[in-house]
Every structure is written in structure tokens, then in C-alpha cells.
Structure 1
Amino acid sequence: MQFHHRGYVSGDPRIQPLAGVGVDRPEELPDFVDVLIVGTGPAGMVTAAQLSQFPSVTTRIIDRRDGRLAIGQADGIQARSVETFQAFGFAERIIAEAYRITEMNFWKPDPQNPSHIIRTARAVDDPSGVSEFPHLLVNQARVLDYFAEFMAHSSARMTPDYGLEFQDLEIADQGEYPVTVTLMETAGDTIGRERVVHAKYVVGADGARSRVRDAIGCTLDGDQANHAWGVMDVLAVTDFPDIRTKCAIQSDAGGNILLIPREGGYLFRMYVDLGEVAEHDHGAVRHTTIEETVARANEILHPYTLDVKDVAWYSVYEVGHRLTDRFDDVIPEQLGVRTPRVFIAGDACHTHSAKAGQGMNVSMQDGFNLGWKLGYVLDGRSPESLLSTYSAERQVIAKNLIDFDKVWSAMMAAKPDELADPTELEDFYTRTAEFPAGFMTEYTRSSIVGGTEHQSLATGFPVGKRFKSAIVRRVCDSNPVHLGHLAQADGRWRIYVFADGAKAGESSPTADLADWLTSSSDSPILAFTPEGSDADSWFDVKVIYQQDHTDTDLMTVPSAFKPRMSPFGLVNLENAFGADREQDIFDLRGIDRAGAIVVVRPDQYVGAVLPLTATEELSEFFRSSLNQRAAE
């Protein structure tokens, strides 16, 4: 963390100085806003948190509840989400309080006594080491708390507006605030009173029964629910030996349990199989009592017993896999004719089972993807066409998730003798680990994703996939740091310059690129950074030399990698690195020794891989997605 560059800070450095809409921010929801976000679940809160880093943008987030969520339905946190938490500044704190999954155990009927279950396999949770971050379990409410804190500490001082329920919206053909939204107050002394708010953009993150989705004519299509599960967060006394380990439990009677230990050492969650849902059930299964679900759990666990002492949360849900064909208000006939004004995210546009632990995780990536794009358009950094990439990118990802979850949830609900192979469930869990961990997302070519012509220069940074971090040594202080962990959710593009073999100060392609970055009118730093702003306000440019950090003279590192910070013109010395002796990033990530440029989007996905000499291509890449405004 860097601070003090604008003067000594005696308080919490995470609290950003007031700026923009954060100055004299009105307590009540104003009548006119830039972005209105409906729903304070994972998708909505991440969208709002990212937009809080654009203090020139008036963003408000509403919820029909009268206050924060006390206990959330979701609890699985995949490693990709923890990477995202790192960008928002709270990964270490949430890891400390969460339950960490290191393996999953599998229980099946004892062949010698099928009425009893026995442990048959243990599977390592991340056998391939896909991420340096762990797989966690923690209450969704705590995740939302951390994002709320991030928003409140931002220059915009954003906080949710509770007690407001979305009713309907209308979209005008023109006007500065073309979306008219009707709300109803649900708390306080004015329950039932209508409010009308005018917005430039609306984000519907209001769940599976989304009214925003209905208002723009989208429908969830797909498989109807055909299997029910009782879900309970409980404190209990039990003789089941793996109660503190994630387990898939299959019984001979045909019932299954997914056991999820929770944070704190005592609480755990059970997804208890309630069986097939009759065609004309009409929701009757949802009335299954907690007592019936506990009794069912004891049948499945036999010969072990479960004595439930306290129920923190209980619900019954039916598995259904449904998806909308678009994530915004632009119908197919209007593609390329107009840009979207209303977006949907999270469960509003994709629903699936909870077995793969993907609901909250994918929803947060929806919000991360959309938030910076809205910020760029409203801040004048990018044309409105950028917003069309949200639906194009995220709808495909949701489809892939649903296809995966259909297989996994069906296997979880199957009887042991219905599987083709006795080890099919655990083999599938291990073989597909990278997908549920969140690392199979790959965006295709667009204005913000380049081609793969130069992919061979950095094979470990596939274009369109998330930037996979590795350790480097900072030159100025010799500290080993994860390069990717330095990327904050601050809306900036990253330009990582992996140097050729020459040292700092020597004539080389790296030196030529650095000179171009600080002197050419085609340089993205000069072409797009607003006049009077810090040199790194839009672009975070870092250099990684092949030599050990002790072989790099910091004073010879080009100024492109040592930007000056206003108002005192201080020099940022923390953007130059050497390769770590034991974990050379060039070897780990397949970086050509001739060097490479790796461009990373604000949401941590690789936008381009280019040669050090490809200044024209680098310039063109940013011209396709940014508005030139250096002369302001």
C-alpha cells in the first residue's frame, strides 16, 4: 500500500480522501443519478464497490431490506474470488476468519454392510496449484460487509440505500437521464410511498425473481427444478468423524449429503437430499420441516448420528438451471444500433444449483466486469460501445457454468449404483478443479481483448484469461511480492513490461519502449491521461527485469517506470522488479527472453500480449477502447 504522497496521513490509510460526489454526499437517494443499482447481493455490491473508485460518477445502490444482510445463503468462496478480494484490499482479513478447504472426502455404502457408510476416498482440493489463494467457506453476509466497508472508505463515500423496492422502469429514446425508475419505500414512517428516480444506467442485481429482468423483457429459460434439497446451517453434536471436512456422502438408501464446514470451528452446513420433485408438486416440497430434514440426514449418515442443538439458517430449494439470452436491454435486432441502458447481473440472469459453489462467485465476476466499464463510460474515458461487451462476455461464461453444474449436480444426486464407475464422482471433482475455482473463464477478441498472434511471447498469460500472478523482487527495497497482488480495483489498466536481457540503463528494446511511453504522442500515457493528473492515474506501468534485483541500479531505471506523483512531484520507486532467484517469473509463465508487453484490464484479465517493439499495436489497442483527451 502506498500513501503519504499527498501529505502525512495519521489515520487509516485505507480511507481515501473525499472527492467528487463524496463531498457533501446527500444522505437520501437523489432524484437524478448516473447509475442506480438494484440489490445489495454479491453482483450489486461488487458493481457498486468498483464504481466507488470513480468519484465523478453518482452511483447509488438500493435494497428492499431495511438493513444489511445478517446471514447469507451462499458460503463457498473460490480462489478466483479471493484474488478479487485482494484487489479490493481485504483478502488477508477474510482468509483469517474463513474456513479453508484443503481436501474433500467421499463417503459411500460399505460393500460389506451397505446400510453403513464408509470413507472411500480423499481428494486434494487444488491438485494442480492453480492459484496461490485458498478455497474458502465464509458467510455471504461477511463478504458483503467487506465490500460495504470498501465503498464507505472510497472518495465517493458510498453506502447502500435500504428500504427501497424496485417496481418498474421506462426507457426513453433520448435525454441525459433516459431511464425512469419507480420505487416503493419499504421501511420507516413512509412505507408504501412511491419514489421516482431518473438514471443514466440501471443495474438489476435483484435475484432470481428479478423485476428489473422482467421490465426489460428478459426471461429465464432452461430446465425446470426436478430435485429438492434441504439446506441447514447448524450447531450439532455428532460422532461423524469428518464433520470438519468438506464431504460428499452417498448412502445405499439413495439419499445424499454435501457437507460444508463453516467458519468458526463449530458451525457447518448440510445440503440434504430430499429426492425427486413430483411433476405436480406445486411447491409442496418447500414446506419440508427442519425436523424432517434432520431425520433424513440421520438416515443417510447411518451408523453415525447427528444431534442438532441450534439452527442458524434453514431453507429448501429446488435445483433448476436457467439462463437469459442477454444480460442487457438491447434486443438482437438492435445490436450495433444502440448501446444498453439497463443491465442484469448475478441470479437475475443465471440460476443453478449450489453444489459447485458458483452462484456468489460468478455473480461477483459479473459485477467486476460491469463496474469498471460503467465507470469508464461515465467518466468520459471510453465510448458507450464499451458497455456492449458486458453481455457479450458474461452470457457465454454463465452458459458454460450451467453446463458444468448440470453434470455435477446430477452426479451429486445419483445413487452409487447409478454412476458408471465407483470413483466417478471423486475423479470428476479432481479432473475439473480449475473450472469451479474460477479459472476457465476466457474472453474472446473484442475492443478490450486483443488477438493471439504474439501469445508465444508469454504462454503463461493467455489472452482473455485472468492474469496469473507470480513472485518478483522489488528493486527499491528487495521485498519479494506477488506481481498480481499489487493490482488494486482502482479502475486502472496494467502494462507489464517484461524486459529483454539487457540491464537497466543499457541500450535495449526495453529502454526504447520506455522512451516511447514518455515522449511519443501515440503513447497511451500521453494520449489518454488527463492533463494535470498523476502520470499513473490511468495506467499502472511496471517493468520486470530478468536480472536479480541486486543487479539493477534503480537510478538507471527509465522514468516511464518511475512516475512522479503530485502535488510534490515525488517519485514512485516501487514499479521496478527483478526476477526471483528461486521462482523466476520468466520461466514460470513462459515469457520469451526477448521480452514482452502484457496488458491487463482493470478486472484482472489479460487484454493483450505484444513484443517490446510493437508500439503501434499497443497504441492501436487502446485507441479502440479509450477516448483521447490529453488536451483537456
Structure 2
Amino acid sequence: MKYHHHSYVSHDPRILPPAGEGLTRSAALPDQVDVLIVGAGPAGMIAAAQLSQFPGVSTRIIDRRPHRLEIGLADGMQKRSLETFNAFGFAQSLMAEACHVTETAFWRPDPVAPDNIRRVSRLDEDPNQISEYPHLTVNHARVLDYFAEFMANAPTRMAPDYGLEFLGMEIMSDGDYPVAVRVAPTAGPQAGQERTIQAKYVIGADGAHSGVRKALGWRLQGESSNHAWGVLDVLAETDFPDIRVKCAIQSKNDGNILLIPREGGFLFRLYVDLGNVTAGDDGAVRRTPVEDTIARAQKILHPYRLDIRHVAWYSVYEVGHRVSERFDDVPQEQCDHRMPRVFITGDAAHTHSAKAGQGTNASMQDGFNLGWKLGHVLEGRSPDTLLSTYSTERQQIGNDLIQQDKRWAAQMAKSPEEFSSQEEFEDAYLQITAFAQGFMTQYAPSMINATPDDGSLAAGFPVGKRFWSAEVMRVADANRRHLGHEATADGRWRFYVFADAALPGQDSATTTLGRWLDESPDSPVRGFTPADLDENAWFDIKVIYQQNHTQIDIGQVPQAFIPRVGPYRLSDYENIYAALPDDDIFERRKISRQGAVVIVRPDQYVAHVLPLSAIDQLTRFLKTFALPQH
């Protein structure tokens, strides 16, 4: 965290000074806004939190609920989400209150006494150590609270407007605020009194029954698996030995359970298999009494005792796998000549089973993907063609998610006899887990994603995949840091310059690149950052040297890696890093000893990998998504 560069700070440095919209924010919803977000769930709140970092953008988020969510329906926070939470500054706080899931135990019928279950194996949740963060379970309402705190501390001082219901909208063909949204209070003296808000852009984050999606005329396409599950969060007394471990439990005749330990040390969730849904059921299974679901759970867990003392939450759902035909308002045939104005995210765009833990996690990546893009377009950083990449990128991920979820739901619904071996079930679990953790996403080539290279420059940073952190040494103060953790959700692009073998001050490709970055009118610093802003305001440029930090003379480091910031033009020395002798990032991430430039998007995905000398190629790529600011 960096502060004091404007003046001495004695209060909580996470509370940034108000700026832009934060200086004039009104308690009442204004008649015109740049971005109106409908729905204060995970997708809407992360988009709002990202937009809260753009002081010049007027953003409001509305929700029909009268107040904050109190009981979240999702509980699993996957590792990719924790990486994202770190960028918003609350990963460590959430980890302190959450349950850490490190293993999965597998239980099957005992061959000697088939009516009983026995543990047959355990698996590490992340055997390949693909992330330094854990898998957590926690009430997702707490995640929304943290996003709300981030927004409240942001320059725009944003906060949700609760108790406002979306009624409908109309998209005009022209005008500065072409989307007319009808809303009304849900309670109070003005309840039901309709009014219209004019917006430049609208985000529909209003759930599976999204009014925004329906107003666009899009349908969720897909199917139901005709299988039902009862889900309950409980406090119970039991002698089941793995009650604080994630478990996949298969019984001989009574179905299956997925057991998820919850935060706090006592609460746990049960996904209880209620079997196939018969034709003509007409929703009857969704009215299954909680007592029936508990009785089935007790049979599955036999011979262990399960004495339910309190049910905190209960629901029954039929597994469905559906994705919207579009994630924005532009029909496919008009994509070449019309830019989107309305977007849908989260459950409004895709629905699936809850057991893979993707409802909240995938939804947040939708909102993160979209938030910075809207901010860049509205602040004049990027052309509006950038917005067309949202639907292209996230709809493909939605389709992939549905296919993976179908496989997971089918595996979980199988009886033990349908597997050729226990290893078959475990292998299927590991394959699905890699996707569920959020690390199989790879965006296709576009204006913000280069065509992947052969991997010879930086095989550990594939283009289109998330930037995989590793430890380095910060040269200025000899602090070991996770390089990926240094990136915050501030809307900036990142340029990671992995130096060649030369030391600072020596003639090298790194020195030449540094000089170009600092002096050229085509560089991100001189050509694409307004002159009245800090040099690193829009592009965060870091250098990582191969040598031990004691060999790096900061006085010889190119000025491009020591940006001058704040009204006093103070040098920021904290962008210079060195490889660790005991854990070399160049080896760990397979980075060429000739050096490389790794360009990373504001949402932490690798956009391009280039040789240090490829300045012309870097310039061409920069001009595809950034507008000159001369």
C-alpha cells in the first residue's frame, strides 16, 4: 500500500481521498448516470467496486432488497476468487474468518457391510500447487460486505441503493444517455412510484430470473438433468469423523452426499441426493420437506449418527445447465457495426448446479472482466470497441462452465457400481476441480489478447490465462513479495519487464526498452497517459532482474522503472525486483534468460508476451486498445 506521496496520512490509508463523483455524490439516485448496475449480488458488486476506482465515472448500483444480504446462498470461494480478492484488498481478512478446505475425503459402501459407508481415500485440494491461496467456505454475504467497504473507501464513495426494483428499459438509437431504465421503490411512502433513469450503460446482475435479460429478449438456453438435491446448512451433533472435511459420500442404495464444512468451526452444508425427477413432477420435488431430506442424509451416513440441532438454511433444486444466447444487447449479426449498451452478468447469463462452487466465483469474474472495460471507455482510455470483447470472452467461458458442470453433476449422481474403480471417480473429481478453481480460463485472441506464442519466452505465463504469481525480492527494502500480489484492482494495465542477464547501467535490451518507455511519444507513459497525471497512473511498469538484489544498483536502473508520483514528484522505488536465489522466478515460470515483457490486463489475465527488443510490436499492440493522450 502506497501513501504519504500527497501529504502526511494519519488516518486509515485504505480510505482514499474523495475525488470526482465522490465529491458530489447525492443520497438520492440521480436522473442520469454513466453506468447503472441492477443487482447487488457478487457480479454486480465486483463490477461496482472496480468502477468505484474511476472518479470521473458516475456509477450507481440498485437492488430490490431493502438492505444488505444477510444469508448468502453460495459458500465456496475458489482459489482464483481469492487472487481476485487480494487485488481488492481483503483476501487476508476473509481468510481469517473462513473455513480452509485442504482435502477431500471419499466415502463408499463398505464391501463387508454394504449398508455402511467407509472412507476409501483422501485427495489434496490443489496437488499441483497452482495457487498460493486456499479454497475457502464462507457466507458469500461477507464477500459482498467487503466489496461494499472497498467501494465506500474508494474516491467515488460508492454505496448500493437498496429498495429499488427494476421494472423495464428501452434502448434508444442515439443520445448521450440512450438507455432509459424504469425503477420504483419497493417500500416506504413512495413505494411503487415509477421513475426513469437515463444511463449510458446498464449491467444486469439481477439473477437467474433477470428482468434485464428478459427486457433484451434473450433466453437461457439449455436443459435440466432431471436430478434433484436438497441443500441445508446445519448445526448437528454427530460421530461422523470427517464432519470438518470436504467429503464426497456414496451409499449403496440411498444416494450420495457432498459435505462441505463451513466457517466458524461448527456449521456445515449437506448436498443430499434426492434422486431423479420423474416426468410430470411439476415442481413437487422442490417442496420436499426438510425432515425428509434429513432422514435421507441419516440413511446415507449409516452407521454414523447425525443429530440435527438447528437448520440455518434449506432449499431444494433441480440441476439445470443454461446459458444466455448473448451477454450484451447486440445481436450476432450486428456485432460488426454496433457497440453494446447493456450487459448481463452472473446468474442472469448462466445457471448451473451449486456443487461445483461456480455460481459466485464465475459471476465475479464476469463483473471483473466488464468493470474495467467500462471504466476505460468512459474515461477516454480505450475505444468503445473494447466493450464488444466482454460478451465474446465471457460467453465462451459460460459455455465451457456448463459443459464442465454437466460432467460434474453426472459424476456426483452416479451410484458406486457405475464406476469401474475408485480411481476413476477421483480422476474425474481432479479434472473438474482444476476448472472449478478458476484456472482453466484462457481467453482467445482479440484486440486485448495476442495470439499465443510458442512459450519459449515465458512458458509459465500463457497468453489469455491469469498471471500466475511467484515470489521475488523487492530491491529497495529487501522484502520478499509475491509479484502478483502487488497488482491492485485500480484499473491499470501491468507491464512486467523480466530483464536480460545484464546489470542496470550496462548496455542491454532492458536499458534500451527502459529508455523507450521513458522518452518515446509512442510509449504507454508518454503517449497514452495524460500529462497531468502521475507517470504510472494508467500503466504500472515493473522490472525484475535475474541477479541477487544485493547486486542491483538502483541509481543505474532506467527512470521508466522509477516513476515520479504525487504533487511533489517523488520517486517510487518499489517497482524494482530481483529473482530469489532459492526460488528463482525465471526458473519457476520458465522465463527466457534473454528476458521478456509480460503485459497483463487490469483483470489479471496475460494479454501478450514479447521479447525485450520488440518495441514496434509492443507499440502496435498498445494502439489496438489504448487511445493516444498527447
Give the TM-score normalised by the residue count of structure 1: 0.99
Shift of 1:453: 3.6
What letter matches 1:39 in structure 2?
Answer: G
Relative distance call for 1:453 and 1:302 in structure 2 (3 A) is closer
Secondary structure of the 2:496 match is: strand
1:113-135: CA deviations, max 9, x gaps? 11111111111110000101111
Structure 2 residue 118 is the aligned partner of structure 1 residue 143: no
Shift of 1:388: 0.2
1 CA distance for matches of 2:116 and 2:606? Answer: 50
2 CA distance for matches of 1:522 and 1:613? Answer: 15
Secondary structure of the 2:366 match is: helix
1:118 maps to which residue? 118
1:281-301: CA deviations, max 9, x gaps? 111111111111111110111
1:239 maps to which residue? 239
Structure 2 residue 44 is the aligned partner of structure 1 residue 27: no
Farther-moved stretch of structure 1 (22-31 vs 533-542): 22-31
1:352 maps to which residue? 352
What letter matches 1:509 in structure 2?
Answer: A
1 CA distance for matches of 2:24 and 2:320? Answer: 46
Q: Is the 8 A contact 2:522 2:528 kept in 1?
A: no
1:265 maps to which residue? 265
Unaligned runs of 5+ in 2: none
Shift of 1:455: 3.4
1:464 maps to which residue? 464
Secondary structure of the 2:8 match is: coil
Shift of 1:370: 0.3
1:476 maps to which residue? 476
Relative distance call for 1:224 and 1:430 in structure 2 (3 A) is closer
2 CA distance for matches of 1:187 and 1:588? Answer: 57
1:185-240: CA deviations, max 9, x gaps? 11222221112111000000011111100111110011125111111111110111
Relative distance call for 1:164 and 1:225 in structure 2 (3 A) is farther
Q: Is the 8 A contact 2:115 2:302 kept in 1?
A: yes
Secondary structure of the 2:426 match is: helix
CA RMSD of aligned residues (A): 0.9
- Pairwise mapping of residues 151-190 of structure 1 onto structure 2 (< 5 A)? 151-190=151-190
Residue-pair matches, total: 630
2:629 maps to which residue? 629
Shift of 1:556: 1.2
Structure 2 residue 136 is the aligned partner of structure 1 residue 128: no
Shift of 1:591: 0.6
Structure 2 residue 552 is the aligned partner of structure 1 residue 552: yes
Farther-moved stretch of structure 1 (449-458 vs 496-505): 449-458
Identity of aligned residues (%): 61
1:291-333: CA deviations, max 9, x gaps? 1111111011111121111111111111000011210000012
Secondary structure of the 2:269 match is: strand
Structure 2 residue 274 is the aligned partner of structure 1 residue 278: no
- Pairwise mapping of residues 174-253 of structure 1 onto structure 2 (< 5 A)? 174-253=174-253
1:506 maps to which residue? 506
Q: Is the 8 A contact 1:109 1:251 kept in 2?
A: yes
Q: Is the 8 A contact 1:127 1:430 kept in 2?
A: no
Secondary structure of the 2:448 match is: coil
1:290 maps to which residue? 290
Secondary structure of the 1:55 match is: coil
Give the TM-score normalised by the residue count of structure 2: 0.99
What letter matches 2:610 in structure 1?
Answer: L
2:433 maps to which residue? 433
Shift of 1:419: 2.3
2:255 maps to which residue? 255
Q: Is the 8 A contact 2:491 2:538 kept in 1?
A: yes
1:402 maps to which residue? 402
What letter matches 2:501 in structure 1?
Answer: G
Shift of 1:64: 0.4
2:94 maps to which residue? 94
1:327-386: CA deviations, max 9, x gaps? 000001211110000000001111110111111110000000000000001111111100
- Pairwise mapping of residues 532-547 of structure 1 onto structure 2 (< 5 A)? 532-547=532-547
1:387-437: CA deviations, max 9, x gaps? 000000001111111111111111111111122333322221224432111
Q: Is the 8 A contact 1:130 1:434 kept in 2?
A: no
Shift of 1:566: 2.0
What letter matches 2:547 in structure 1?
Answer: Q
1 CA distance for matches of 2:214 and 2:431? Answer: 38
1:428-467: CA deviations, max 9, x gaps? 1224432111011001111101122463111110011000
Secondary structure of the 1:433 match is: helix
1 CA distance for matches of 2:517 and 2:445? Answer: 25
1:378 maps to which residue? 378
Q: Is the 8 A contact 1:412 1:425 kept in 2?
A: no
1:338 maps to which residue? 338
Secondary structure of the 2:313 match is: strand
Q: Is the 8 A contact 2:411 2:428 kept in 1?
A: no
2 CA distance for matches of 1:306 and 1:238? Answer: 5
Farther-moved stretch of structure 1 (444-453 vs 81-90): 444-453
Shift of 1:619: 1.1
What letter matches 2:291 in structure 1?
Answer: E
1:232-262: CA deviations, max 9, x gaps? 1111101111000000111111411110000
Q: Is the 8 A contact 2:117 2:301 kept in 1?
A: yes
1 CA distance for matches of 2:435 and 2:63? Answer: 32
Q: Is the 8 A contact 1:454 1:610 kept in 2?
A: no
2 CA distance for matches of 1:231 and 1:37? Answer: 30
Relative distance call for 1:480 and 1:126 in structure 2 (3 A) is same
Secondary structure of the 2:257 match is: strand
1:75 maps to which residue? 75
1 CA distance for matches of 2:105 and 2:61? Answer: 41
1:587 maps to which residue? 587
1 CA distance for matches of 2:602 and 2:471? Answer: 20
